[in-house]
Amino acid sequence: MNRVLFVDNDSKSFGPTISMNYILSELNNQGFEITLLTPKTESLTQEYSEAGIRVIHLQKELYLSLHFTNIFKFYTLKGLFFYLQTILRFVTGTIYATKIIRDVKPNLVYVNEYVFVQFAIAAKILNIPAVTHIRSPFIKGSFGVRRKILSRILLMSNLKIFAITNCEAEQISSFHYDKKKIIVIREFLNTDNFLTNSDTEKIKCEFAIPPNEKVLLMLGGVDQTKGTATLIESFALLKKNFKNVQLIVAGHQTKTRTNEQYWKLCQNIILKNNLTESVKIIPFCTRVVELIAIADVIISSSISSHFSRPMIEAWAQKKPVVISQTRHALEFAVHGINAMTYPANDSLGLYEQLKLILTDTELREQISLGGYRTAQKYFNSNNNISLLIKVIKSIVEV
């Protein structure tokens, strides 16, 4: 039996976990023996154990600060700290990964995001094939040195690299090393899981929203990279012309000093514009499908380019989407066809698109249908997961 060590980087249940669940389910169906190494708590891994997956709880902090959300400059004190921390975690993480791989004895090591690349390195040392999923941009940095080093390491240590969009693929292939290793496999989405007959009035009542209120929804929490402050500024403008409308901002709140300051900025905008009763900020919520069901418009207001899973989940429910013009968004979103777009970090531009979509029923229906068709075309879980499993089998059955 083929044995897979699957390395999970997500301690909660964000986008990487949703994608991971599709992969683990299909690997299980195909008869692979799976060991899941994860930072998740026992309460979040019970379903994996019940499915016959062996779970090992990650005891060490191995996350490498090479993600695009790590915005500290290298030449600052904090930036230098994270740089040294990354080097230390790279070394200790590779040693730890080597021990885990020797214990599990897998035929394949599957790394669910590049921030745990130490496991691919350890697999290379032990002559075991590895694949890594690239789900987000690398750290921007000041000179591009870390991006280049990370790309070299990924290409050297993996037999295949799965990128969720062309943007992720191009940040590696731009260095012109062995492009055949990089395969774009778009995210997984079973639209049947999202077309619901939810009792929207009941759900609105549970979230204390009057039945006649329009709902704008942003799934991303209070976060600078998500452009939450820009969104609230736009909503303040919108509220002057649309009285029966509420904004829900749902998502995990990162506890850092930088984000605490950003939280205060958002709260000040809310207080300044008397929006306390109209803006609901709720923590990470597992009821995403229901939140989308009660929403009249879903907004992705990111100011840093990265893939927006809420966008495709909204499309799956035939909901209209307003999204900022980032590289990732424009790979799939076409203004007026499947979404309304606006320049990133432009509160007035966002306001104009929200006003238009709330007043033009025909346009709203047009882009909702266009979005649904886009989700079916690019993110069909059966097609995309079949391609991924085909590649994995070609590696382990050699």
| DSSP character at residue 204 | H
Asked whether the beta carbons of 150 and 138 are under 8 A apart, the reply is yes
Nearest CA among 249, 213, 250, 244 for reference residue 232: 249
Tell me the per-residue pLDDT of 39-71, one tens digit each, with 9 for 90 and over. 999 989 999 999 999 999 987 777 666 654 555
Alpha-carbon gap, residue 123 to 109, rounded angstroms? 7
**Side chain identity at 176, as an amino acid letter?**
H
Counting Cα atoms < 13 Å in the Cβ hemisphere of 279 gives 26
Q: Helix (H, G, I), strand (E, B), or coil: what is residue 223?
A: coil
Alpha-carbon gap, residue 62 to 388, rounded angstroms? 26
Alpha-carbon gap, residue 97 to 89, rounded angstroms? 11
pLDDT at 260: 84
pLDDT at 28: 95
Q: Write out residues in the chain with pLDDT < 70, as ranges.
A: 63-83, 139-145, 173-179, 191-196, 253-258, 284-285, 398
C-alpha of 130 from chain center: 22
Asked whether the beta carbons of 219 and 251 are under 8 A apart, the reply is yes
Asked whether the beta carbons of 358 and 245 are under 8 A apart, the reply is yes
CATH 3.40.50.2000 domain extents, the chain: 3-188+380-396, 191-378
Residue in the block written with tokens 């600060």? 65
* H and E: helices and strands count for the chain: 15, 13
Q: Helix (H, G, I), strand (E, B), or coil: what is residue 322?
A: strand
For residue 238, count CB atoms less than 10 angstroms from its CB and return exposed for 0-12, middle for 13-18, buried for 19 or more: buried
DSSP characters for 292-316?
Answer: HHH-SEEEE--SS----HHHHHHHH
Nearest CA among 213, 231, 185, 248 for reference residue 379: 185
Alpha-carbon gap, residue 7 to 113, rounded angstroms? 8
State the CATH class of domain 3-188+380-396: alpha beta
Strand 297-300 to strand 279-282: parallel, antiparallel, or no bridges (unpaired)?
Answer: unpaired
Instruction: Kindly report the pTM of this predicted structure.
Output: 0.89
Q: How far is CA 340 from CA 136, 245, 349, in A?
A: 23, 19, 11
List of residues 6+ apart from 292 with CB closer than 8 A:
194, 217, 298, 310, 313, 314, 317, 319
Alpha-carbon gap, residue 132 to 352, rounded angstroms? 41
CATH of 191-378 among 3.30.1330.40, 3.20.20.70, 3.40.640.10, 3.40.50.2000? 3.40.50.2000
| DSSP character at residue 188 | P
